[in-house]
């Protein structure tokens, strides 16, 4: 059974810092991996989707990498801003399946 | 283009009652998935519908059932509500690999 872990559970940084959020998964037979952002009490906003054949994806100040063989992904946020404060969730779709399996998220607070 | 929409936004029910939640997918999307998110946790997959059929199901009891209509919209029904069913219920739609989520329905069972 696939399990997804996100470390750290919470993170507080001053504005302007570059930061890395970590995601690990136990079964490397994944089809793709998706990073989401969730504001308190709200739905999920898709940030980046990485197919299993890809190593990284970039969108603006965000860069996500995938190392399938070691079961790890990282989300890099450059020049963090207070508006980046949210919970960031990592989720994988296993090969042959269709459901997203989520981690518990990293709660990020960027201090002005 | 409207994204994924869900109704109602909030709902309060009593133990033992039944509830129906609704989801309209993003335009052009034919697949709808439902997730349950308890406070402080990541979402848990309930089931997925495609072409009006349940295509895959997570580890949820039969009290949780669903339906997809010809216009791809979907309903989630929960019977015999338990206190533990209190959660944010999220709907996601997709056409390819990327899933897009709605704002969710907050269900409180008292």
Whether the predicted pLDDT of B29 surpasses 90: yes
Q: Return the number of other C-beta atoms located less than 10 Å from residue A8's C-beta.
A: 11
Going by C-beta distance under 8 Å and a sequence separation of 6 or more, which residues neighbour residue B102?
A43, B3, B4, B5, B6, B23, B90, B91, B92, B93
Q: Return the number of other C-beta atoms located less than 10 Å from residue B71's C-beta.
A: 8
Residues of A with CB under 8 A from a CB of B: 4, 31-32, 34, 36, 41-46, 49, 51, 89, 91, 93, 97-105
- What average pLDDT does the segment B69-83 reach? 97
Q: Give me chain B's average pLDDT, please.
A: 95
CB proximity under 8 Å: B 53-82 to A:
55-56, 58
Q: What are phi and psi of B83, to 5 degrees?
A: -55, -35
DSSP classification of residue B39: T
Q: What are phi and psi of B41, to 5 degrees?
A: -120, 165
Q: Which of A87, A11, A83, A75 is nearest to B40 (CA)?
A: A87
Could you read off the pLDDT of A12-55 as tens digits, one per residue?
Answer: 999 999 999 999 999 999 999 999 999 998 899 999 999 999 99
Least CB-CB distance to A89: which of B4, B42, B58?
B42
């Amino acid at each position: 059974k696939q399990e997804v872990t996100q470390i750290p559970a919470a993170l507080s940084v001053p504005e302007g810092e570059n930061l890395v959020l970590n995601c690990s998964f136990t079964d490397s037979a994944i089809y793709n991996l998706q990073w989401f952002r969730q504001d308190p009490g709200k739905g999920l906003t898709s940030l980046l989707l990485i197919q299993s054949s890809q190593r990284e994806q970039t969108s603006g100040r965000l860069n996500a990498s995938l190392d399938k063989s070691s079961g790890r992904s990282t989300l890099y946020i450059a020049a963090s801003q207070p508006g980046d404060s949210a919970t960031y969730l990592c989720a994988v779709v296993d090969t042959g399946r269709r459901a997203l399996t989520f981690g518990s998220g990293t709660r990020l607070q960027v201090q002005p | 283009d409207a994204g994924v929409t869900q109704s109602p936004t909030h709902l309060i029910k009593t133990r033992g009652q039944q509830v129906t939640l609704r989801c309209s997918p993003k335009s052009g999307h034919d697949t709808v998935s439902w997730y349950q998110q308890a406070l402080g946790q990541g979402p848990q997959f309930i089931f997925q519908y495609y072409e009006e059929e349940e295509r895959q199901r997570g580890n949820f009891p039969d009290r949780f059932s669903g339906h997809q209509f010809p216009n791809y919209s979907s309903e989630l029904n929960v019977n015999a509500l338990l206190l533990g069913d209190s959660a944010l219920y999220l709907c996601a739609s997709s056409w390819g690999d990327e899933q897009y989520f709605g704002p969710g329905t907050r269900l409180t069972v008292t």
